């Protein structure tokens, strides 16, 4: 191996049936025919019935015996094992759209049920992570899933709210005036546009605010700190009033329309410093800290523990992967690979996440990416919708054992 770098509420009959099934520790097939969990001791959300918190009807966080947990709507402990970037366009190219037409009948609902949900549950995953996928380097990501899509899947998910275009990879960054009425109005619009229809959905874990924000680093243009004239001389203290206002405005906007779900905050960019004043500002209003970082445990641990230390919150590794060369695409020589083949990728996932979930603050990991496309050239499935069996078989071993690992965390 290379050493390189959240009173149960029943808004409808379908949910009512699902909740009853979960209370018995079993899974009854949903009307859409969702593929069942095959592991004993799991509730209908993928939570572990061997340890309970409070049943509130929605995902929430609790500390039990010194360990942080997510809790399912039924009150069972839950660790979010997700897959990101499930995007149908990956099998709609000229070279592979016969799969879309013949295997799934050109139906998005069939693809969600028969591909995404079946695969994730077969492989031991319990969460649909951030669904937007990179489709070109210059123009960015595909649209994310709609609420109808999530309802079709009928499994836990996280949803991203696009409050500000401040991603570190964007050249057309628009750093908002967070003290303005205009920013408050914009956040209110985003919140009511997304949250109102999701506010009673028990499958929703919570909301991300944005992807890899450019607080002190941006690939293409000035960072937010540079835009404000803030320097590292005082340990980035100049960012604190802006960050506090930014997170408070977003919090208030969401809570006007949804008081039920977790606030997952931004997905910070782990390879660069995450300023302490920003973490501390976010921790006043968010429930979980999230980060993107593609690394082995030796690189993950300092960043994950840094987020927890200065926030006191549980942590989700919201985007990461261990990739090997595609068996379909010729990958450019400048693309970094962690592993020689997909089996080694799976071993890396299992070994590094075993170490991560032994930490008492760790409550989730979301793996990049579902199906490889012409830009990613990596995934759990190839360009022709075939799983990388070595990767998914090793991942399943860890996923099936994660609660045994987590319950022994010190």
pLDDT digits (tens, 9 = 90+) for 107-122: 999 999 999 999 999 9
3-state secondary structure of 372: coil
Contact 225, 235 (CB under 8 A): no
Q: What is the pLDDT of residue 189?
A: 98
Contact 85, 232 (CB under 8 A): no
Q: Where are the domains of the chain?
A: 6-78, 80-406
Q: What is the pLDDT of residue 38?
A: 54
Q: What is the pLDDT of residue 93?
A: 95
* Per-residue pLDDT band at 131 (split at 50, 70, 90): very high
Report, as an integer, the average pLDDT of 48-65: 97
- pLDDT digits 0-9 by tens, 206-238: 999 999 999 999 888 899 999 999 999 899 999
Name the nearest CA neighbour of 245 among 302, 292, 176: 176
Q: What is the pLDDT of residue 37?
A: 52
φ/ψ (deg, to 5) at 35: -70, 135
Q: How many residues does the chain have?
A: 410
Distance CA 199, CA 191 (A): 10
Distance CA 255, CA 313 (A): 19
Strand ranges, E, within 294-384: 315-320, 362-367
Q: The dihedral of CA 172, 178, 179, 185: what is its sign?
A: positive
Mean pLDDT value across the chain:
90
* Per-residue pLDDT band at 8 (split at 50, 70, 90): very low
Q: What is the pLDDT of residue 224?
A: 94
Report, as an integer, the average pLDDT of 396-409: 94
Tell whether the model's pLDDT for residue 378 goes beyond 80: yes
What are the distances in angstroms from CA 225 to CA 87, 184, 195, 282, 367?
33, 21, 30, 16, 30
Q: What is the pLDDT of residue 135?
A: 82
Please enumerate in sequence order all residues whose Cβ is within 8 A of that of 169, keeping only pairs 6 or more positions apart, or say none. 212, 218, 219, 220
Q: Would you tell me how many other CB atoms lie within 10 Å of the CB of residue 141?
A: 17
Q: What is the pLDDT of residue 73?
A: 98
Fold (topology level) of 80-406: TIM Barrel (3.20.20)
Buried b (16+ CB within 10 A) or exposed e, 250-272: bbebbeebbebbbbbbbbbbbbb
Nearest 5 degrees, angle CA 298-CA 80-CA 386? 85
CA 143 to the chain's CA centroid: 16
Tell whether the model's pLDDT for residue 164 goes beyond 80: yes
Of 23-27, 311-315, 361-365, 372-376, which range is least confident?
Answer: 23-27
Share of the chain above pLDDT 90, in %: 80
- Would strands 127-128 and 80-83 be described as parallel, antiparallel, or unpaired? parallel
């Amino acid at each position: 191996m290379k050493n390189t770098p959240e009173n149960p509420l029943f808004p409808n009959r379908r949910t009512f049936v699902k909740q009853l099934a979960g209370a018995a520790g079993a899974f009854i097939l949903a009307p859409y025919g969702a593929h069942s969990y095959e592991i004993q001791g799991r509730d209908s959300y993928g939570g572990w019935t061997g340890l309970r918190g409070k049943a509130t009807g929605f995902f929430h966080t609790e500390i039990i015996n010194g360990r942080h947990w997510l809790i399912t709507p039924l009150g069972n402990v839950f660790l979010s094992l997700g897959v990101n970037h499930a995007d149908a366009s990956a099998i709609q190219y000229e070279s592979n759209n016969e799969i879309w037409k013949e295997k799934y009948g050109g139906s998005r609902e069939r693809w969600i049920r028969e591909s995404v949900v079946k695969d994730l549950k077969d492989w031991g995953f319990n969460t649909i992570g951030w669904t937007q996928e990179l489709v070109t380097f210059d123009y960015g990501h595909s649209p994310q899933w709609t609420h109808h899509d999530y309802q079709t899947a009928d499994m836990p998910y996280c949803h991203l709210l696009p409050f500000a275009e401040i991603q570190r990879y964007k050249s057309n960054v628009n750093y908002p005036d967070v003290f303005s009425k205009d920013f408050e109005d914009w956040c209110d619009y985003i919140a009511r546009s997304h949250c109102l229809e999701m506010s009673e959905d028990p499958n929703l874990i919570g909301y991300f605010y944005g992807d890899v924000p450019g607080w002190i680093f941006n690939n293409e243009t000035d960072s937010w700190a540079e835009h404000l004239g803030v320097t590292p001389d005082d340990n980035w203290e100049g960012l604190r009033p802006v960050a506090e206002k930014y997170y408070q405005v977003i919090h208030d906007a969401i809570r006007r329309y949804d008081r039920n779900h977790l606030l997952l905050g931004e997905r910070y960019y782990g390879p660069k410093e995450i300023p302490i004043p920003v973490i501390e500002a976010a921790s006043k209003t968010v429930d979980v800290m999230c980060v993107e970082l593609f690394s082995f445990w030796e690189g993950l641990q300092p960043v994950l523990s840094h987020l927890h230390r200065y926030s006191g919150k549980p942590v989700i590794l919201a985007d990461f992967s261990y990739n090997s060369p595609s068996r379909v695409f010729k990958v450019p020589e400048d693309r970094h690979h962690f592993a020689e083949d997909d089996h080694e990728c799976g071993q890396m996932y299992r070994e590094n996440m075993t170490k991560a979930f032994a930490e008492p603050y760790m409550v989730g990991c979301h793996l990049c990416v579902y199906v490889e496309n012409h830009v990613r050239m990596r995934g759990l499935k190839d360009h022709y919708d075939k799983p990388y069996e070595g990767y998914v078989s090793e991942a399943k071993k860890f996923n099936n054992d994660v609660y045994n690992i987590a319950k022994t965390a010190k």
